Amino acid sequence: MSVIDVSTLEPVGEFGSKAWGEACAAAAIKILEAANLPDDIEWAFTEEYLHPPARLIEDGREQAGYFIMVRNGQVTAGDGIPQECLELPGFHVRAVWAVICNQSGAIYGPAGQAQRTVDQGVLMAAIEQYVGRPNPFDLALDADGNPSHLLKPAFWPDEVATALREGNDEGNGLHNIAATLQSPSPEFGGLPVTALRVPIFAEMTDQQQTDFVRLCGTEA
């Protein structure tokens, strides 16, 4: 039985908002504490969302993003991206808000994750072609020299991965919890999207393409 019953959850905020990130963090703490992780695990998760709408950066908030950290037998999580988290092995992402926002609210399992990756690859390629240059968002480069949302190679201890992904085939797991907690963002209303809610750049109007690229923090 899953630690959190997704059917009891309601949206609390937009993707990248403080309310949403704190709710995701609280869920992660509950799940990982219930897993009784070994005391020697040192691992962290960070997601920072670049170029978020101004409404998500207010009241002194400096970044849109949240963290999870397992260290010294303790699980902590919350709003922001602490430097000590970035120094630990784990899963560290820095991604453009508009590129991943809408589809982060889709419910899916492993097959859906794989298809989302394919759809996002099409989106990124279309944006690169539109602006006329590779890596228009200045993302980190992976070992093969390709732009990547990951800041370093991903590391998932088995115990952590098992706990956070439990039930994801049935609509549970941390991703689907986060998706359920996410409320819609107005920027995506009326945009053509895939079954997994990834924006389809090629099917946008000229004005939608211009607006979307600007929302991503770049221009042609």
In a domain, 157, yes or no: yes
In a domain, 213, yes or no: no
pLDDT tens digits for 102-119? Answer: 999 999 999 999 999 999
In a domain, 128, yes or no: no
Per-residue HEC secondary structure of 165-178 comes to: HCCHHHCCHHHHHH
In a domain, 26, yes or no: yes
Phi then psi for 147, rounded to 5 degrees?
Answer: -60, 140
- In the predicted structure, residue 201 carries a pLDDT above the cut 80: yes
pLDDT tens digits for 58-73? Answer: 888 999 999 999 999 9
C-alpha dihedral, 92 to 98 to 100 to 104, nearest 10°: 110
In a domain, 204, yes or no: no
- Average pLDDT value for the chain: 95
Coil/strand/helix, residue 36: coil
How many domains, in total, are found in the chain?
1
Q: Which domain holds residue 89?
A: 6-113+133-188
In a domain, 154, yes or no: yes
The three-point CA angle 24-26-31 to 5° equals: 95
DSSP, res 1: -
In a domain, 118, yes or no: no
Q: pTM to 2 decimals?
A: 0.94
In a domain, 36, yes or no: yes
